[in-house]
Structure 1
């Protein structure tokens, strides 16, 4: 099996999505990939247990991708061995009325992980510079002063939002949150095949919505805005990773390997030591328990 190196997927310079592969051959069978996935996610789960005890870092993992890119199943398979107390999955859909009473980052801020925990954002704060940009009429629901119609949205509006997102993530990092962002890079042809599967296989019919086809018509716009967002917000401490997503099993293994490799960089994360007083009295405590 080919080795997976996080740096091969990390975005550290300006990129074009058209130049990035949507499929990679790891020189392994699906069974081999799934076996490796199980092994690595077990190790990642053990790392999370230590982080939970250490309680100084939190981890925010953000997953973005076109419809059918496999976000739901990837999240399920990557984090399935985690202790439930240590991971929270948040899915962000159309903002509700309460969320619209606040600024666009508020609902993401209140969903951030506690120290010691992982948060998984299935879609994230980036929806506000992706879906809202493809469909700028959504901005009107935010009740921003001075914006009463699409024509009122300033030319630098999206650039400012990207800058605000950079500041938001910088604030998180400065306060102990490890930020990892993943774009599941799907080809348009593979999306077509997956949408057809939803229609052809009865057990998947419930996943299909006519809106999927409407959004597919905006493919080029989404690619353009994803590319711009990734280039503008992939920092040294807030990196984007572009993961080829045409093969689901391969994408899952790449993601779990990247997360583990990034977590291993934090050498200070370790189980807390017992106080000297407790260490000195361990034999006494054991004796108490043995006698009762």
Structure 2
């Protein structure tokens, strides 16, 4: 199947992953893809879109489970504010609702409280790391979690992260490791989610863009590397989380690693079936990707 500029502009919603296959695309192909009116960058993609030479129109960043993830989202928002991109839509967790500045007094009072609480948190964690962890890593982890509950550092960092420069859509998702989750028909419902962000993006597309073909760009899964790995390493933000050890061991994306007897393969046929009901077919721009190799989707050149 051949791909033309006209088809991309009229027929496709592009899903922009962070796989290294993006680096192998020709400049001509990138220019064609960049003309698409809907391009959803998943997670960290938007922070490095210039290297890919394909600008996102949407940024999907649901991860809200760690301070590092919140800081990365904050970095992306601040980064894009200084770029000539217009009308970007952020798809984020409902936890960010209400994070606008209400009044200057309220904002600065909260900011002062945040600075104090974060300082206390860092001091306590430093002491725990030096003293308690020496004797018991398990006890350190429990005490650290208790301190987080009391001081809520994530809430403090999250406050005011949402910026009026962009539009925001707030979503919630279903349990990430439960098989048989519901394919939702409204953003007001918790969206389908299973073993990774990609699955929720597909449910989102089925709701917002029915009867559009879906084009995967950089959705490799068969490699743990990002197309922006070198640039990511230079950021002063720790992007690692609890899945990192599995990814480094298996050398592939966490969603296709067998974890608790589950991986994305288990439910991908269900996703394809659900997408067909809304007129959405999936294709990949690259041949050397996991979902193409497994026969789940077709490649276009």
Q: TM-score, normalised by structure 2?
A: 0.27
Instruction: Tell me which of the two structures has the higher relative contact order, counting C-alpha pairs closer than 8 angstroms and 6 or more residues apart.
Output: 1
Higher share of residues assigned helix: 1
